[in-house]
Amino acid sequence: MLCVEHIETFYGKSQALFGVDLCIREGEVVTLLGRNGMGKSTTVRSIMGLTPIRSGRIAFGKKEIHRLPSYAIARSGIGLVPEGRQIFPNLTVRENMTATATNRLNVPVPYTLETVLALFPRLADRLNHLGNQLSGGEQQMLAVVRALMTNPRLLILDEATEGLAPLIRKEIWQGMATLKANGHAILVIDKNLDALMNLADRHCIMENGRVVWRGTTDELAADEGLKSRYLGV
Ligand SMILES: Nc1ncnc2c1ncn2[C@@H]1O[C@H](COP(=O)(O)OP(=O)(O)OP(=O)(O)O)[C@@H](O)[C@H]1O
């Protein structure tokens, strides 16, 4: 579904990615792991065209996307929940959910207010509140819901649970587990390794702009050294 092949990305003269490869198949949940500053967000920014790659190739389905502007990449079916929950603060929760809702890819059963609220029931009581009246966790759920309302084929979460209370985090992971059970493909970056081990099929560990390890959850669980070496846990 998503195929990232040997991409190199720069910030000005400074190279951040050195030949990153990453593949996500239909229905798969894949993580990008690694300490701070290793290139996880840059990989996501590269996929979304926010920091265009300098070399390599990115294909989504049958289409090459790496030369497209980021709005066109999003329209091709990738929903990003970026770091720092960028919801509309002066729109209500309901308006936030419907403002960008679309079904461009003609998904047979598109998300509706009801189906996304079933994933995050907490938001149902808040429909008429303004975005800026929500707690951080509720804003993050709203950011996920807003991405889902565009009916993406792939959802990307970049640090979606950063700084949230454990209970709220749990609710977000539960929502993600339901999405996975429904066959949704998800790329997830998070520091919450236990939750990721429960959720994900495969993991890629990044160090200094390269993927230095990839494997299944069982393989990651079996290798304590890996965790202390690359993840600091
Ligand atoms: N806007 C930017 N301008 C210049 N350099 C940047 C910029 N954003 C990131 N970098 C650099 O690119 C490298 C990769 O950073 P990136 O944010 O992708 O890492 P990360 O693994 O996502 O870490 P974090 O968890 O801290 O977000 C780092 O060396 C970082 O300093």
Tell the residue nearest (CA) to atom 18 of ligand 1. Answer: 39
66 pLDDT tier (thresholds 50, 70, 90): very high
User: In the numeric block, which tokens belong to residue 149?
Assistant: 């309302």
Phi, then psi, of 77 in degrees rounded to 5: 120, 25
Q: What is the ipTM of this complex?
A: 0.94
Residue 154 near residue 183 (C-beta atoms within 8 A) = no
Q: Indicate the range of 14-18, 52-56, 115-119, 205-209 predicted with least confidence.
A: 115-119
Say if ligand 1 is within 6 A of residue 38 CB. yes
Q: Which of 41, 191, 205 best tests ligand 1's pocket when mutated (most atoms within 8 Å of CB)?
A: 41
Question: What CA–CA distance (Å, rounded) separates 143 from 157?
Answer: 10
Choose which residue among 17, 40, 51 to substitute to test ligand 1 binding: the one with the highest number of ligand atoms within 8 A of its C-beta.
Answer: 40
Close Cβ partners of 165 (under 8 Å, ≥ 6 residues apart): 137
How much is the average pLDDT of 90-107?
89
CA of 140 to the centre of ligand 1 (A): 21
- Average pLDDT of every residue of the chain: 92
Q: How far apart are CA 197 and CA 191, in angstroms?
A: 11
| Ligand 1, pocket-test mutation among 8, 22, 38, most atoms within 8 A of CB | 38
Give the model's confidence band at 163: pLDDT under 50 very low, under 70 low, under 90 confident, else very high.
Answer: confident
Residues of the chain above pLDDT 90, percent: 77
pLDDT attached to residue 189: 95
Which atom of ligand 1 is nearest the CA belonging to 159?
25
Q: For 35, left (φ over 0), alpha (ψ -120 to 50), or beta? A: beta
Tokens (6 digits) for 144: 């996920």
DSSP 124: G
Of 181, 121, 187, 117, residue with least CA distance to 152: 187
Superfamily of chain region 2-231: P-loop containing nucleotide triphosphate hydrolases (3.40.50.300)
Residues 6 or more apart whose CB falls under 8 angstroms from that of 150 comprise: 74, 79, 100, 101, 102, 104
Please say if the pLDDT value at position 226 is more than 90.
no
Is 69 touching ligand 1 by the criterion CB < 6 Å?
no
Question: Where do the structural domains in the chain lie, given as residue ranges?
Answer: 2-231
Judge contact between 209 and 38, C-beta under 8 A. Answer: yes
Which residue puts its alpha carbon closest to atom 24 of ligand 1?
A: 36
- Both structure tokens of 157: 């979460």
Q: What is the mean pLDDT of residues 56-65?
A: 96
| Phi (first) and psi of residue 33, to 5 degrees | -115, 165
Closest atom of ligand 1 relative to the 42 alpha carbon: 18
pLDDT at 23: 96
The residue whose C-alpha atom lies closest to atom 8 belonging to ligand 1 is 42
* Signed CA dihedral, 143, 144, 149, 155: sign only: positive
Residue 4 alpha carbon to ligand 1 centre in Å: 18
CB 18 within 8 A of CB 8: yes
Global pTM?
0.93
**Residue 230: both structure tokens together:** 């690359």
- 35 CB-near residues (< 8 Å, 6+ apart): 207, 230, 231, 232
Q: Please enumerate in sequence order all residues whose Cβ is within 8 A of that of 168, keeping only pairs 6 or more positions apart, or say none.
A: 135, 136, 137, 138, 140, 141, 161
